[in-house]
Amino acid sequence: MEKILAVGDRETILGFAIAGVEGIAAKEDAEELVLGILSEKDEKRKVGLLIIQEDVLRKFSAKSKRLIDNISKPVVVSIPSKFGTSLEDGEDFAKMVKKAIGIELK
């Protein structure tokens, strides 16, 4: 069974843990960790949905961001930090769903 995995600050991870979602506190190696998950080198986790906090994602290289934008599995979703959204070109939820499963929400 595939899991949901969240990557973000301590407070965000704690919130997801309360809901039963595994979380990883973002450190300096967050980009390397996420790339490992995306390249399926991390077989023990078998991640189907990867939630990344925008503040963490903003620190990723342009190459990593392109990979995240173009990958279909796991589904990668960015969420705002506790301070609100910071990405100017943030994708809305309906577009993310269409990209992930091919169904347009109206």
Give the per-residue SS3 of 37-91: HHCCCCCCCCEEEEEEEHHHHCCCCHHHHHHHHHCCCCEEEEECECCECCCCCCC
> What pLDDT is stored for residue 7 in this prediction?
92
> What pLDDT is stored for residue 63 in this prediction?
92
Q: Which amino acid is at 98?
A: K
CB neighbour class for 47 (10 Å; exposed up to 12, middle 13-18, buried from 19) = buried
pTM value is 0.74
Place of tokens 């809901």: 19
> What pLDDT is stored for residue 44 in this prediction?
62
> What pLDDT is stored for residue 36 in this prediction?
84
Listed in sequence order, the residues at least 6 apart from 28 whose beta carbon sits closer than 8 Å to its beta carbon are none
> What pLDDT is stored for residue 79 in this prediction?
86
Q: What is the CATH number of domain 3-101?
A: 3.40.50.10580
Show the low-confidence residues of the chain (pLDDT under 70): 41-45, 84-106
Q: Six-digit token pair at 10?
A: 């301590």
> What pLDDT is stored for residue 68 in this prediction?
87
Domain boundaries, the chain: 3-101
